Amino acid sequence: MESLEVKNLTHHFGFTEILHNINFTLKKGEVLSVVGPSGGGKTTLLHLCAGLLDVEEGSIQNSFKSTAFAFQEGRLLPWKNVIDNIAVGLLAKGEKKDEALKKSQKIALEFGLEEEDFTKYPKDLSGGMKQRVNFARALVTKPSLLFLDEPFSALDIGLKKELYAHLLDSCKENEMSILFITHDLMEAIRLSDKILLLKADPGHIVKTFEYDTPNDKREEIFIYEQSAKILQDKEIIDTFELNTLELI
Amino acid sequence: MKFLFKILKDFPAYLWSGWGAIASTLLFIALWDLGNQVYGNLVLPSPLETFKTLYIMLQDKDVWQQIDITLYRASVGFGLSLLFGSILGLIAGFFATASMMSRPIVTILVGMPPIAWIVLAMIWFGMGDETVIFTVVVASFPIIFVGALQGTRTLDGDLKEMAESFGFTWYMKFFDVYFPHIFSYIFPAWVSGLGMAWKIVIMAELLATSDGMGAELAIARSQLDTPTALALVTIMITSLMFIEYIVLEPIKREVELWRA
């Protein structure tokens, strides 16, 4: 069984402790999100899990066969056109060039890009289109684990929903797992099986929320109800410092 | 190969876009003729007279030989700068210490007037090829070096991380992530290095040698032969314009299509 196991993970930047004693397990087919305020060490945690940073204390065991990463800001190669950008993940895996391009074109169409966009460079794409390319690039490799670094934060609500649907499809078809960081609670409730609440200074997990309803069966009403409920939670209020707002 | 083909395919369209440049060149020649009418033939020969002199000169084998000599010196000097400037610049860019240490040296190299280098080179190497080549190298090397250094220093950390997360091979990292970025810095540096080399080679020849186009220019000056001097200048400028606009610019356009 493929899984990602994080045990007693602690991380420092210089003398500042960023993460303190983090423990969790992500199983196959599961969507796990880490929520918390900005600057709470979420990105560091994600980068450690994705192997972009070296683990100092504790351990991370990743037995997933393949991983992919969708970034907050597209991070497309400015000198490559849309299709070549999508194909880089496949090419890095050693896929043949024409095969990779064919797959990239197919997924680009699925992600709502037009054929006339294929030869455009990132400078000519809108923010939404860049993010479509970003997702297509990650999902075309059919990863068994996908890392998401708040990739929805600058998108309009329609595009968000479209990309949610693509993600849930991939989860179902390929039994893909997702490790997802966000500061948007509603988004976390919509997609995740499990939510970890990360409190800052240093980043540590204070509470875990679990949702049993399958994520493709969650109605809008369910999401709003759960969001309202979670906002009453004492730990949530504490972590996001919601009570200071009331004082004002 | 495909790339070369694309450059050739877009070339006619590029040439067609050159009408504006031709118009402004003609305007310049018209102003030149006006200057001739105001100041007389001795100070500023007319464009027609200059082009006639140029035509006669180009029939002369000896003139071609002088051009050859100058070309040889400029290309050896520029070639050395290109090679060492690019390689050392890249190395300096990849190591923070090296780039910090090289900065003051580059400032000295850029800040020191080429004319001072010529004097030193004349003392060190005497009157000949070496003096000219040395001066060319000293003048164009720092430009290329700084271009390469800047290109490597400004590599985007976010893109490196992206490459890391997708497990790029070193080959892909170099050709898909590093190279296009560095090239977009180093190529304009090559172009300005080349322009510099071409200017400096004439100046060094004028002061330090008895052959080459610079020396011809010195002779024209001592004989107050303004038409020949202007004809020589015309050769220098047209050759530089040819390299820049016909050879380098089309390449640059293809390579930098992605730039905003």
Does A123 sit within 8 Å of B172, measured CB to CB?
A: no
Q: Are the C-beta atoms of B44 and B102 separated by less than 8 Å?
A: no
Query: What pLDDT was estimated at residue A246?
Result: 60
B161-183 per-position pLDDT tens digit: 899 888 888 888 888 899 989 99
For A218, which DSSP code?
-
Query: What pLDDT was estimated at residue B228?
Result: 92
Whether A118 has a pLDDT exceeding 70, the answer reads yes
3-state SS, residue A140: coil
The overall average pLDDT reported for chain B is 90
pLDDT higher for A224 or B193? B193
pLDDT higher for A173 or B145? B145
- Does domain A3-66+143-247 fall under CATH 3.40.50.300? My reply is yes
Does A89 sit within 8 Å of B161, measured CB to CB?
A: no
B174 touches chain A (CB under 8 A): no
pTM of the predicted structure, to 2 decimals: 0.81
AA identity, residue A220: E
In chain A, what are the domain boundaries?
Answer: 3-66+143-247, 77-141
Q: Which two tokens stand for residue A171?
A: 């989860």
Q: Residue B111: which pLDDT band, with cuts at 50, 70 and 90?
A: confident
Q: Which two tokens stand for residue A117?
A: 């966009």
Closest CB from A52, A91, A141 relative to B164 = A52
Nearest-CA distance B100 → chain A (Å)? 23
The pLDDT of B234-238, averaged and rounded, is 91
ipTM metric:
0.83
- Using alpha carbons, list the distances in angstroms from residue B144 to A173, B62, B190: 53, 33, 6
Contacts of residue A122 in chain B, CB cutoff 8 Å? 258
Does B258 sit within 8 Å of A121, measured CB to CB?
A: yes
Does B181 sit within 8 Å of A80, measured CB to CB?
A: no
B167 touches chain A (CB under 8 A): yes
Closest Cα partner for B168 from A88, A98, A96?
A88
The pLDDT of B118-127, averaged and rounded, is 91
By CB atoms closer than 10 A (0-12, 13-18, 19+), residue B8 is exposed
Size of the A and B interface in Cβ pairs below 8 Å: 53
- Which residues does A182 contact at the CB level (< 8 Å), separation at least 6? A33, A34, A35, A148, A150, A152, A153, A188
3-state SS, residue A157: helix
By CB atoms closer than 10 A (0-12, 13-18, 19+), residue A78 is middle
Query: What pLDDT was estimated at residue B260?
Result: 67
Query: What pLDDT was estimated at residue B245?
Result: 85
B25 touches chain A (CB under 8 A): no
Does A123 sit within 8 Å of B169, measured CB to CB?
A: no
Whether A247 has a pLDDT exceeding 70, the answer reads no
High-pLDDT (> 90) share of chain B, %: 55
